[in-house]
Structure 1
Amino acid sequence: MNKKQELPWDNPRFRNWVAVARACHAVERAVAAALVPLDLKPAQLDVLMNLFRHPGMSQHELARKLLVGRSNITMLLPQMEKRDLLKREADLNDKRIMRLKLTSAGEKLLMKALKVHTALIEQVMGQSTPAECDMLGDQMRRIAEALKTD
């Protein structure tokens, strides 16, 4: 880059994107810290939330929803199953497919975690007016759609 070219940090889009990335990282750290007393990690919370909303989904479907590889899910589920947070059952029509369901202990832990998570979201998003919050959400959905690879 020569001195006549605009440097990326002089570009408002670049600066604002860095601000979005920093905010996202700060929220991720805050969520992780808030979940420590529940002995829960953010990835585990994602699993619990998805299984609550979509009981019986397959491991493959869960991996796609969470935008991670199946190997990530395969490593995470046994730990959660051992803690009695979820159970894996063979699909009735295809024994190769494992269906996932929350246990009552998993649902109870999820409800506690949702209170913590929701309070943090309220704190963070409370920095914006309802209109600003809606505008931010619309913009993030457009970005996600523009980068969608499926």
Structure 2
Amino acid sequence: MNENQAFPWDHPRFRSWIGVARACQLMQQAMTRAIADLDIKTPHLDILINLYRFDGISQQELARKLLVGRSNMSMLLPQLEKRGLIARRPDAKDKRVLRLSLTEAGRDLTAKAMAIQTGLIERTLSKTPADRCLQVAEAMEDIIGILQTMEDDEG
């Protein structure tokens, strides 16, 4: 880098990216602490919330939504199943596909965890006007689209 070049951290886009990454990391740490009494970790919460929203989703679809590999999913799901929070059932049409659902205990725990998560998000963002929150959301959605297109082009 010569003396005429600015450092990466002097660029607005770099600063924005670092800010998002740090905020995400700190929120993840806060969430981990907030749900510790429920005896679940944030990867479990991601699974439970998705099953709450998409009852009967396949393991493969869930892995795709969470951007994780099937091997990672294969480690997490048995833990939740053993605790009686989820049930895995064969698909009616294709026995190779497993469909996932929350049990009653899973729905109850997920509802508690979502209330904690919503409260944390509200406390964190309460001083930020809603229109500014939407601007950030839209910018992140644009970035997601760009990154997914890049991934598709490389794949």
Bin the TM-score by the shorter chain.
over 0.9
Q: Cα deviations across residues 79-115 of structure 1 (Å, max 9, x unaligned)?
A: 1000000010111211111111100000000011011
How many residue pairs get matched? 150
2:147 maps to what in 1? 147
Q: Cα deviations across residues 6-27 of structure 1 (Å, max 9, x unaligned)?
A: 2111212212221111111110
Q: CA deviation at 1:130?
A: 1.2
2:110 maps to what in 1? 110
Q: CA deviation at 1:52?
A: 1.1
CA distance in 2 between counterparts of 1:73 and 1:135 reads: 32
2:65 maps to what in 1? 65
Does 1:88 find its partner at 2:88?
yes
Secondary structure, in 3 states, of the residue corresponding to 2:68? coil
2:13 maps to what in 1? 13
Q: Output the amino acid matched with 1:38.
A: L
Q: CA RMSD in A?
A: 1.0
Secondary structure, in 3 states, of the residue corresponding to 2:5? coil
1:28 maps to what in 2? 28
Q: Output the amino acid matched with 1:66.
A: L
Structure 2 stretches of 5 or more lacking a match? none
1:122 maps to what in 2? 122
Secondary structure, in 3 states, of the residue corresponding to 1:40? coil
TM-score by length of 2: 0.93
1:74 maps to what in 2? 74
Structure 1 stretches of 5 or more lacking a match? none
TM-score by length of 1: 0.96
Quick one: percent identity of the two aligned structures?
A: 49
